[in-house]
Amino acid sequence: MQNRAKSRSLFLWLLTACLALSTALTGTSAMAAPGPGQSFLFLQPGFTQAIYGVAVMATGAGMAGPAFAPNGDPLVVECVTPLHDRPLIRFLGASTTIVNSTVIHDTMTLPSNGGCGLMNHPNGALYTATDRGVVKLDANTGAPLLGPFGGPGLSTGIAVDPQTGNLVFQSGTGGFDFGTISAVDPALTTLSTFSKVFFGNSIISAMAFDPTGNYLFVSTVSPRRVTILNRSGVAVNAVPISSTTARPVGIAIHAGAIVFAVTNNDDGTMTRFDFPGNDFTQPPTQRVFASGGFGGPFPGNGHVQVGPDGCLYLSQGQTRYDNGVVDDTHHHSLVQICARGGVADNITLTPATQHAPAGTPQTVTATVRDVLGCRLVCCLKRRQN
């Protein structure tokens, strides 16, 4: 009993120390710690939400992207005509401000040649789909490196093929020329066709490959559905959105033992698609992942990407702060959704049940995961008595 009480006391000491360190590292006080996010009035249990940052957008413009700088800072672009030469907006992970009782990351603007689609590549570069073609950008500075190449892009969607490294995007010249998904190599020297299955009036909003690269998920706002293509560019599944009001404007794939897709919709909802046995050729179960959020103008607004921290980052056409204050339609928000529990659920004490002989030095490690967006490990050597 005495040893157990000492272990409990040590645990509480470590927790207090880790949380204090977290506060010191983030430069925030306990009063300024992120509260329960209010961007969506409903979010599926097991996930948390927080506003990462807010940016002012012009009337009719959307917050497109997001992508990420080498240090993990999110990058977005204001999607408004002309769909090229757009500067990037960078949210600074190391700099925050308190607005309406909400921790907001500050921003800086990077001159660039951005379009409405942004995508990180394994080679470390950033690629964007513009109305003049695909452009390669420096992921840290936004500076153009190559392109444009591949002809005009008509959508905000661009994705990296995990098997070839090629960039796929919707190409065409407008009118009825909307039906081609093209592919370019990372060096922007070779153009090929990935698929022509879409009719001329199919307006593609976003694309994402499954983790294997065997399937490409394509969301369209007209018709309102998610179409799944195999590697031959053939449609193996076409899933109409069950909601009568939602148009999917962003799509992402959750990897893991259970792979599912989520769409961000222009009516302020998100839809989750679960496929039986991870078989993407079968009809999925659809359910509301989130609701009560903010839609926004298409194209551009509502994009969603998985960040380097494993969380979803998505744009909203307005901002609802943690204290419930709603900003005007020019203040768009970047929302972070993570699979997390509370503080107690995010602490692992190691060793949890080991008992060493009396007098044996022992190191106990308390790992605090995803507290204030950090992962902290605090260690203390003690002598087991």
CATH number of the domain enclosing 108: 2.130.10.10
Which domain range does residue 161 map to?
47-338
Copy the structure tokens of residue 63. Answer: 């917050």
C-beta separation of 378 from 368 below 8 A: yes
Instruction: Name the DSSP class of 326.
Output: B
166 and 184 share a domain?
A: yes
Check residue 197 and give its pLDDT.
Answer: 83
333 and 378 share a domain?
A: no
Asked, for residue 37, whether it belongs to a domain, the answer is no
213 and 272 share a domain?
A: yes
Give the whole-angstrom CA distance, residue 24 versus residue 39. 27
Q: If you compute the radius of gyration of the chain from its CA atoms, what whole number of angstroms results?
A: 23
Asked, for residue 65, whether it belongs to a domain, the answer is yes
Give the whole-angstrom CA distance, residue 332 versus residue 320. 10
Check residue 330 and give its pLDDT.
Answer: 86
87 and 233 share a domain?
A: yes
234 and 371 share a domain?
A: no
SS3 state at 346? helix
265 and 199 share a domain?
A: yes
Q: What element of type H or E holds 9?
A: helix 2-26
Give the whole-angstrom CA distance, residue 30 versus residue 43. 25
CA distances to 36, 98, 179, 349, 368 from 103, in Å = 11, 5, 43, 29, 20
CA distances to 88, 184, 212, 288, 374 from 231, in Å = 32, 15, 11, 29, 38
Asked, for residue 312, whether it belongs to a domain, the answer is yes
Number of domains the chain contains: 2
Give the whole-angstrom CA distance, residue 185 versus residue 261. 26
Check residue 143 and give its pLDDT.
Answer: 96
9 and 156 share a domain?
A: no
Asked, for residue 378, whether it belongs to a domain, the answer is yes
Check residue 137 and give its pLDDT.
Answer: 96
Give the whole-angstrom CA distance, residue 44 versus residue 289. 5
Copy the structure tokens of residue 5. Answer: 């009480």
19 and 106 share a domain?
A: no
231 and 355 share a domain?
A: no
Asked, for residue 38, whether it belongs to a domain, the answer is no
In sequence order, what are the residues at sequence separation of 6 or more whose Cβ sits closer than 8 angstroms to the Cβ of residue 52?
74, 91, 104, 105, 313, 333, 334, 335, 336
Check residue 302 and give its pLDDT.
Answer: 75
C-beta separation of 57 from 63 below 8 A: yes
What is the chain's length? 385
Asked, for residue 40, whether it belongs to a domain, the answer is no
Check residue 199 and give its pLDDT.
Answer: 63
Whose tokens are 């880790």? That residue is 18
Check residue 177 and give its pLDDT.
Answer: 56
pLDDT tens for the chain, residues 1 to 385: 555 444 444 444 444 444 343 333 333 333 333 457 999 999 999 999 999 999 998 887 888 889 999 999 999 998 877 778 889 999 999 999 999 999 999 999 999 998 888 999 999 999 998 888 899 999 999 999 999 998 877 667 899 999 999 999 988 655 555 668 999 999 999 999 999 887 666 788 899 999 999 999 999 888 899 999 999 999 999 999 988 888 999 999 988 888 899 999 999 999 999 999 999 999 999 999 999 999 866 666 678 899 999 999 999 989 999 999 999 878 999 999 998 743 323 333 333 333 334 444 444 444 343 433 333 333 433 443 4
Check residue 34 and give its pLDDT.
Answer: 42
154 and 231 share a domain?
A: yes
Please report the DSSP string for 13-82 in residue order: HHHHHHHHHHHHHHT--GGGS-----SSSEE-TT-EEEEEEEEE--TT-EEEEEEE-TTS-EEEEEE-SS
Q: What element of type H or E holds 8?
A: helix 2-26
CA distances to 27, 29, 33, 44 from 23, in Å = 6, 6, 8, 28
98 and 150 share a domain?
A: yes
Asked, for residue 95, whether it belongs to a domain, the answer is yes
235 and 159 share a domain?
A: yes
